[in-house]
Structure 1
Amino acid sequence: MTTRTGGDQTPFQQFVRFLRYARPYRVRIIVAIASLFLIALLNAISVGALQPVFDGLFIPEGGAAGISLPGPIKAALGDHLPRLQRLLPEDRIKLLSLLGAVLFGVFLAKGVLTYLQQIQMRYVSEAIQRDLRNELYARVQTLPLSFFTRRQTGEIMSRFSSDVETLGDASTELFRNALKEPLNILGLVAVLLLIKWQLAILCLIILPVAFLPIAKFGGKIRRRGTRVQEWRAEVNTILQETISGVRIVKAFGMEEYEKDRYREASNQVFRSFMRIWRVDALTSPVLEVLGGIGILIAFGVGGFLVINKSLTPGAFMAFLGALGSLYQPVKRIGQINNIVQRGMAGLARVFELMDAQPEILDRTDAVTLGRMEEEIQFQNVSFGYEADRPVLQGISFTAKLGEIVAIVGSSGVGKTTLVNLIPRFYDPTSGFITIDGMDIRRVTIRSLRDQMGIVTQDTILFDDTVFNNIAYGRREVSAEKVVEAARVANAEEFIEALPIGYQTRIGERGVRLSGGQKQRLAIARAILKNPPILILDEATSALDVESERLVQEALDRLMENRTTFVIAHRLSTIVKADTILVLDEGRLIEQGTHAQLLAAGGVYCRLYQSQILS
């Protein structure tokens, strides 16, 4: 039996799945539900008290004071009613004072119970949002690089922000009000039936009709809510792109263009929201009209019954009060349904991401890979991001322990794709890669990636201290080892010149450092990891001469006694490589040392000579 993913599930199945997140908080939910039952009971009592209050006011002069109750309650009390009546004061003022004190106690108890219920349900709602975000983040961390190349960063971020927040609003309404209002309806209907069941049925005939627009409007809002969330994701994407690329925007004078692009996306969000609010705004007046019909029936028929002495004035006022109060929770249910439907649109998008399946997984029989001792082999490896568009075809070579393997070729021939196969960011579509004779698909991903250090042109640093960036991935590491790694990476001097040295925060993506400084921190991070396999992807291509010299010195130290894969734009930096692989249109067309390839007079020779001449 297969499990349906978020995108395939019906709204009801998604809702049931969402309720499972409330299970850890069931004690709080039970306390809140018990409070709701008591609140609904007290609400019915406070409305039903209108009958004894008004009948107490309208006792004929000289008449006996007493308490007026609906017929079914009198019948239920039976012989106890006279004894209860004798306990009450005969004076009308004292009787009304007693009823007022009772009502005050009812309102006080309702206030305390409402506070308790709201605190419990708010806790549950916020806790569910937290749990969803944590689970969603954990899922994203397992997804392969291919997922992130197909999705925009802003679109992914919107699942954590606007989608979960919309879901949070829905869960707040669901757990705080969606349970309360039906209980209020039941309590008030009971009051109506107790006062005059025939009149109640006549007035409540319209009630089922009130739920038709609620269901119809809710479906429209859910569909339109999905569109709102999609446009919100687009707004997030534009914002993320323009902030991270602000230098390019300013350098090309594209501020007005980006303003227009953002404004258009923002307007689309606005228009999508207005389509929702137009439907949402219809709910209340439609239910108001339906409720008005019921009240008119009660007013006409009930008034006739009072005139004919079939209903006391107090009972009539209590009936009108209960009926008027009844349509408020009905309208509130309509509003709650609209909010929940918007949340369901967010829920579908959250579950869609949560159900995204990682393509790179450990096998059930995967083993731990020991530290590399001999060689890495590519054996007839092919790969394509799309099935009918191969990027690499039939790649075979061997890299011995301690060798430097350089990969060259024009842009787009698959150099970076080739090295991305080694840590299993992607798996080959055919052929296989081995380390010490072990197919890397048969070892655990963690043990495989523990073998590798990666330094790229686009250095990734975090908005944290220098120390924590160097020690990233090494939880238990001494300060002495971090300082030593920085010294070997030629980073010690500039780090000590920072305001608070190793404890200085470097900003998002290391924005407070120069390009060369960032690269040296990345090298220090790789040195501290001490991996047997090193991948350098254009690590010095964007640096000035002095920075490149410092970085190259650090790289030379880093590459000692490691198997190193180097992608280099400037061929002069790889002349000492043990093996140079030349790629063209995804195929390995030449391999050998620098001297061998020059002597062969092939593609590498032409590339090298053209760079020397330029």
Structure 2
Amino acid sequence: MNYFKKILRFALPYKKYGFLNIFFNILYALFSSLSFLALIPMLNVLFGQTKPVTVPPNLDRIGNFKDYVFNYLNYWTTQYAGDDKMKALVLVISLVISLFLLKNLFNYLAMYFITFLRNGVLKDIRNSLYSKVVQLPVSYYTEKRKGDVIARITSDVLEIQHSFLSILELIIREPLTILFTIVVMFGISVELTLFVFIFIPISGLLISRIGKSLKKQSDNVQKEQGYFLSIIEETLGGLRVIKAFNAENRFINHFKNSTGRFYKFSNSLLNRQNLASPTSEFLGILVIGILLWFGGRMVLITETLDPSSFIAYMGLAYNILTPAKAISKASYGVKKGNAAAERVLEVLETENSIKDAANAIVKTDFEDQINLNHISFKYEEDYVLKDFNLTIPKGKTVALVGQSGSGKSTIANLVTRFYDVNSGSIEIDGHNIKELSLKSLRGLMGIVTQDSILFNDTIENNIRIGKLDATPEEVEHAAKIANALEFINELPHGFQTSIGDAGGKLSGGQKQRLSIARAVLKNPPIMILDEATSALDTESEKLVQDALENMMRNRTSIVIAHRLSTIQNADLIAVMQKGVIVEQGTHQELMDKNGVYQKLVNMQSFG
């Protein structure tokens, strides 16, 4: 129930719909009982047991309330129909139909208002989850499967709606229906109702024992669903590689194994869940059968109960079965919903390790330099950077070179605060970046990475991510600087051309130039280029390199380079090995040293 309470906080904005639902559920429960009670005078008319009452009855004590109600109905019927039994029957039938009509009207209104609450909570949970997913640090997704996160936003949230939020429909209506029905049953026969109460706890105990293992099985189902969604996401992302290496059967078998486990878990879960309804119905009919025997004895042998009241009583007893079944199914729903809510709340309650400080500074400009002071960092066990020091003056281009795994890209991740250093500090104009607001820190920076990350949208909207309020002229100017305007104008719809999923309709060089245009439009004082040309052919590299030089003009730039030919004009080149700087200087200074840098240059020249 702890998870249920946490989910219920999302219902607070929609509480007016909850109160309206409760109001109409109370009316539904009341009229559900009265509609069966109204059968008694109708049956009395049919069986000819109605004796005309010509004087209005008086209620002398509460114990005679039942007789008072029936006598008043009799008096009212006598006043209207006189001795005409068919007229009396029509009147009583009209009363019964009216009560059933009102009962169903109130049922509809209760469901009508709860719909707004259920769907509103569903919407808000999804919005909160998505906001959290966007805000969580990059490091969170190195440990989690993307498909599992998608499963939590989709299927787990739906499970909460179907299970937890279904309880909101039942929590008032079904218990009140049972309560009002039992009150009316007590009014008809105390002895028979006490007999019923002997069997209800036995039935409840049997039903509760069935559902004890449901939460664990439901958890297995939802985890497996997240796993095969991950396989789908990875398959779609790497489809070319799978086909190129004829690995289709390997991935198909991998997926089949996952869906096989899902099949087994689902069968086990649903078979237990499906056992709830027939078990509760059989136990209910068993109680009805015993009632028929015990009540029939009261009618036929002891004559302590009249036939009309007994038939109405049996209708009321059966009226308890439907809400009792609903409550038993809801108890299973709680167990299933518990597993889903736990997975959703795990994401919502994950502590964001990278967030603004209490009094974060909003910095809008870059004035002096970036200092990396004795920083050390590790992703897992081994340190990627060790006591690393570097100063990047304003307006200068500093290039980081070295073999793969030397820590070059990690510098970009730390300066942008995608990750936080384990020790040491990174300062911009003397301010530790942990003291700056994340929005203002990242507002100072533009990033162009090796992988051109584009979205399934138009070219204009992909560039405009750099500046959402940019004019069409500004977008065009950014494309021009990025050497992208020529190929954009050749496309059938120009800037309004949709580029497909991850920019699949464009070449690598075209995608990279759009990434550069996006960074140009943002116009930040600090530019970070993470191997921006390493995946391109010679012709595309030349166009992109020209675009990069246009963009870096009069800016502070951190260039992580694999192709050393692209950074020969850098103001400072830092050569890295295993997380430390082993050489630094200009291209010519490093060549004159005849050290590590010259070996790297010679290797690439030979290549």
TM-score range, shorter chain: over 0.9
Q: Output the amino acid matched with 1:328.
A: T
Residue of structure 2 aligned with 1:228, choices 213, 217, 221 = 221
The match for 2:8 is 19
The match for 1:211 is 204
Aligned partners of 1:145, 1:181: CA distance in 2, in Å? Answer: 47
Relative distance call for 1:401 and 1:300 in structure 2 (3 A) is same
Alpha-carbon deviation of 1:66?
Answer: 6.8
Alpha-carbon deviation of 1:423?
Answer: 1.1
Relative distance call for 1:488 and 1:81 in structure 2 (3 A) is closer
Indicate the SS of the match to 2:189. Answer: helix
Does residue 1:355 correspond to 2:349, yes or no?
yes
Does residue 1:372 correspond to 2:361, yes or no?
no
Q: Is the 8 A contact 2:53 2:71 kept in 1?
A: no
Aligned partners of 2:391, 2:510: CA distance in 1, in Å? Answer: 34
Does residue 1:510 correspond to 2:503, yes or no?
yes
Q: Output the amino acid matched with 2:65.
A: I
The match for 1:250 is 243
Alpha-carbon deviation of 1:163?
Answer: 0.6
Residue of structure 1 aligned with 2:189, choices 196, 206, 209 = 196
Q: Is the 8 A contact 2:370 2:428 kept in 1?
A: yes
TM normalised by structure 1 equals 0.94
The match for 1:417 is 410
Relative distance call for 1:261 and 1:93 in structure 2 (3 A) is same
Aligned partners of 1:235, 1:456: CA distance in 2, in Å? Answer: 29
The match for 2:320 is 326
Alpha-carbon deviation of 1:459?
Answer: 0.8
Aligned partners of 2:190, 2:321: CA distance in 1, in Å? Answer: 18
The match for 1:73 is 65
Alpha-carbon deviation of 1:257?
Answer: 1.5
Q: Is the 8 A contact 1:483 1:492 kept in 2?
A: yes
1:189-225 per-residue CA deviation (whole Å, 9 max, x = no partner) reads 1221111011111022111222224433344212211
Does residue 1:87 correspond to 2:79, yes or no?
yes
Aligned partners of 1:128, 1:83: CA distance in 2, in Å? Answer: 51
The match for 1:335 is 329
Alpha-carbon deviation of 1:610?
Answer: 1.4
Indicate the SS of the match to 1:205. Answer: helix
The match for 1:554 is 547
Q: Is the 8 A contact 1:55 1:312 kept in 2?
A: no
1:90-109 per-residue CA deviation (whole Å, 9 max, x = no partner) reads 33222221111112212222
Q: Output the amino acid matched with 2:365.
A: R
Matches within 5 A, 1:120-159: 120-159=113-152
Aligned partners of 1:214, 1:136: CA distance in 2, in Å? Answer: 35
Alpha-carbon deviation of 1:88?
Answer: 4.7
Bigger CA drift: 115-124 or 366-375?
A: 366-375
Alpha-carbon deviation of 1:241?
Answer: 0.6
Residue of structure 1 aligned with 2:393, choices 393, 400, 404 = 400
The match for 2:379 is 385
Aligned partners of 2:384, 2:143: CA distance in 1, in Å? Answer: 17
Aligned partners of 1:161, 1:199: CA distance in 2, in Å? Answer: 49
Aligned partners of 1:323, 1:53: CA distance in 2, in Å? Answer: 18
Does residue 1:484 correspond to 2:473, yes or no?
no
Q: Is the 8 A contact 1:72 1:194 kept in 2?
A: no
1:134-166 per-residue CA deviation (whole Å, 9 max, x = no partner) reads 111112222111111111111111111011011
Aligned partners of 1:22, 1:473: CA distance in 2, in Å? Answer: 36
Indicate the SS of the match to 1:376. Answer: strand
Q: Output the amino acid matched with 1:349.
A: R
Relative distance call for 1:207 and 1:153 in structure 2 (3 A) is same
Q: Output the amino acid matched with 2:21.
A: A
Does residue 1:48 correspond to 2:41, yes or no?
no
Bigger CA drift: 486-495 or 112-121?
A: 112-121
Relative distance call for 1:128 and 1:580 in structure 2 (3 A) is same
Aligned partners of 2:475, 2:262: CA distance in 1, in Å? Answer: 48
Indicate the SS of the match to 2:415. Answer: coil
Aligned partners of 2:63, 2:203: CA distance in 1, in Å? Answer: 29
Aligned partners of 1:258, 1:114: CA distance in 2, in Å? Answer: 50
Relative distance call for 1:326 and 1:59 in structure 2 (3 A) is same
Q: Is the 8 A contact 1:163 1:350 kept in 2?
A: yes
Alpha-carbon deviation of 1:343?
Answer: 1.7
Residue of structure 2 aligned with 1:265, choices 258, 281, 306 = 258
Aligned partners of 2:151, 2:17: CA distance in 1, in Å? Answer: 30
Does residue 1:104 correspond to 2:93, yes or no?
no
User: Percent identity of the aligned residues?
Assistant: 38
Q: Is the 8 A contact 1:154 1:233 kept in 2?
A: yes
Matches within 5 A, 1:460-499: 460-499=453-492
**Runs of at least 5 residues in structure 2 that lack an aligned partner in the other structure:** none
Relative distance call for 1:77 and 1:181 in structure 2 (3 A) is closer
Relative distance call for 1:81 and 1:472 in structure 2 (3 A) is closer
**Runs of at least 5 residues in structure 1 that lack an aligned partner in the other structure:** 1-11
